[in-house]
Amino acid sequence: MVDQIDGRGLGGGNSVEMAAIFAALSNPARIDILRHIACHNDCGCKDITDVLPLAQSTVSQHIKVLVEANILRTEAIHPRSRYVINEDVLKDLAEVTNTFLGSCCKETWC
């Protein structure tokens, strides 16, 4: 238990935070939801439910996970909720992921 590392910030994101984002992306339905939102403007829960083989409540729950992970933003327009991808977060995520994955064992983390 010496030289413990369990979760402290290294090279742009601690383990717990990184794992949380990856966890939000760790479900195929959520990947599909992100893709659908990315490809279709003004997209609500119903639109996604029409396209995925899942119940509306399940889709809503997946969306909640993505919102809580700050990957999606809600814009409650009119009667419906519209979801927008938080591009800033995804850019950061792409960078952190790149740093983490690409530079395997540079002095960055050590």
Question: For the window 23-62, what string marks contact with DNA as x by the rule CB under 7 A?
Answer: x--xx-x--------------xxxx-x---xxxxxx-xxx
Distance CA 84, CA 44 (A): 10
**What minimum distance in Å lies between the beta carbon of 20 and DNA?**
9
Residue 110 binds which of a copy of itself, DNA, none (CB < 5-8 A, kind-dependent)? a copy of itself
| 18 forms part of the interface with a copy of itself (CB under 8 A) | yes
- Does residue number 55 form part of the binding site for a copy of itself (CB under 8 A)? no
Cα angle value 25/31/33 (rounded, 5°): 125
Backbone angles phi, psi at 15, to 5 degrees: -60, -40
| Rounded CA separation 30/59 (Å) | 8
Q: How far is CA 37 from CA 29, 57, 59, 64, 83, in A?
A: 12, 17, 12, 14, 7
Looking at the Cβ atoms of 55 and 94, the one nearer to DNA is: 55
Positions that interact with a copy of itself (CB under 8 A): 1-7, 10, 15-16, 18-19, 22-23, 25-32, 34-36, 38-39, 50-53, 85, 87, 90-91, 93-94, 97-98, 100-102, 104-105, 109-110
